[in-house]
Amino acid sequence: MKVQVGRGILTQVLQKVQSITEKKTGMPILFNTLLQASAEQTLDFSATDLELSLWTRMECRVEVPGSSTVTARKLLEIVRELPDENIILEQLPNEKLLIQSGRSRFELSTIPADDFPHMNFYTDADFFKCDASVLKNALSKTLYAVPVEDDPFSIAGLYWHRLESGAVRFVSSDGHRLACYGMPEDSFTEVDLGRGIIIPRKGVQEILKVLEKEEDVSLALHENCLILKTPDTVLSIQLLEMEFPDYQLIIPEERPFSFLVERETFFHALKRVAVLTNQKWRHVRFIIDSGALELEAGNPEVGNASDAVDIEYEGDSFTVAFNIKYVMDTVQAMESPQVQFEWVDQFHGGVFVSPDDAGYLSLIMPMVV
C-alpha cells in the first residue's frame, strides 16, 4: 500500500476514527484504524470498539492499493505536526507504516489487516432521510443528563421512544435529574421505534460529531443497531438492551407555582455564585419572593456568595436548593430568551421549561441542605 494524501483532509478523517478506538482494552487491534487503499483512488478508514463502528472514505492518490492497520491516536498526533500539506503513507515490508512529509519521516508498527474485527454496517438496511438539524437539536438538549457510567440507579444511554399519542420523545436521566425533549406526531414517522431504543452515551456523542459537519443524513434500525449514514461516512451503534424506567411517574402533572426569568441574566448569576462551590458543597439555594430570586451558594471552608435577579412572580415566599451544576447544565441547554421554573413543594423535583420551545423539559431533584 502506498498513497499520497493532503494533511488537512487526513487530519479531519483521523479525528473521526480516533474517537472511536478503544482507550482501555486488552485487544491491541482496537487501538488501530483499518486503512484500505483502492485502485479507484480512494482511501477507506474503519475503526471499532466492538460496540460502535465507523467507516469513512476520502479521495487521494493511490500508487499501490493495499491495506493495513495502525494506531489511530499516534498517526493523528504525527499528522498534526507535519510541516507540509502533502503526505505519503506506505506499508513497508518490515510491518511498519511509513509516514513521510518533506524531510520528516516516521515509521509506525502495524498489525495485519486480516486481524481486524469484522464490522457489519448493514448498508442494505432500510434507510430513511433525516433532518440533521432536528436530530442534532433533540440530542444536544438531552445528552447532558445521560450518566457517564452505568450504576444500579441509572442507565448510561438516551431513550428515544414514541408515546401512545404518536409524539416522539428523547429522554435521559442520571437518577438526580431528567432531560426530556418532545416532538410532534409527524416526526420520524419512517422509523419503527417499537417500545423505544436506548442509545449509549458514546453513541450519542459520535452522532453529534457527525451531525456537526453533515446535512445529508440517513438513519436505519437493524438487528439492535442504529446506523447513521452520510455520503462518505457510516456509523453503526449497538443499542443498549435494557428497560428504561417509567420516567413519567416523577414529573408532576400539576405544578401550581412558577416564575419567569431572563435566561442570560439567570445563567450569569448562577455562574458567579458557583465560584464558591466545590464537589462537596455544590448546592445553590433558591430564595423566591415576589419579583425577585435570590441565589445563595458557598462552603464553610472558603466563604459564601449571593446574587439576585428579577423574576415575574407574585406569591408566597419559597426556598429550595439544587445541585448548581445541574441547574447550569439545564439553563445552558436552552435557547429561548426566558426560563420558566415550576414547582409543587420542596419535596418534588423542580421543573424547568422553555416558553419558546414547548418540547423541552428538565426536572431536577431538590437537595437537603
Q: What tens digit of pLDDT does each residue of 259-313 get?
A: 999 999 999 999 999 999 999 999 999 999 999 999 999 999 899 999 999 999 9
pLDDT band with cut points at 50, 70 and 90 for residue 22: confident
Q: What is the pLDDT of residue 213?
A: 84
129, 134, 135, 138 alpha-carbon torsion, rounded to 10°: -160
Q: What is the mean pLDDT of the chain?
A: 94
Is 252-364 the same fold as 128-248?
Answer: yes
For the cut 70, the answer to whether the pLDDT of residue 150 exceeds it is no
- Separation of alpha carbons 22 and 51, rounded Å: 10
> Where do the H-state alpha helices sit in the chain?
7-18, 72-81, 132-140, 201-213, 263-273, 324-333
pLDDT at 369: 79
Q: In this predicted structure, what is the pLDDT of residue 24?
A: 66
Q: What is the pLDDT of residues 71-103, one digit of tens each?
A: 999 999 999 999 888 999 999 999 999 999 999
The model's confidence at residue 154, banded by pLDDT at 50, 70 and 90, is: confident
What is d(CA 123, CA 19) in angstroms, rounded to the nearest whole number?
22
Whether the predicted pLDDT of 137 surpasses 90? yes
Q: How confident is the model at residue 215 (pLDDT cuts 50, 70, 90)?
A: confident
In tens, the pLDDT along 222-233 reads 989 999 999 999
For 305-354, how does the pLDDT look when each residue is reduced to its tens digit (9 = 90+)?
999 999 999 999 999 999 999 999 999 999 999 999 999 999 999 999 99
Separation CA 163–CA 291 (nearest Å): 38
For the entire predicted model, the pTM comes to 0.93
Most confident of the following: 117-131, 152-166, 332-346: 332-346
Q: What is the pLDDT of residue 123?
A: 84
Domain 128-248: give its CATH architecture. Answer: Roll (3.10)
When the candidates are 3.10.150.10, 3.40.50.2300, 3.40.50.80, 3.50.40.10, the CATH number that belongs to 252-364 is: 3.10.150.10
Q: For residue 246, what pLDDT is reported? A: 95
With the C-alpha atoms ordered 78, 79, 84, 89, is the resulting torsion angle positive or negative? Answer: positive
pLDDT of residue 191 exceeding 90, the answer is no
> What is 2-115's CATH number?
3.10.150.10
Domain boundaries, the chain: 2-115, 128-248, 252-364
Percent of the chain with pLDDT over 70: 99
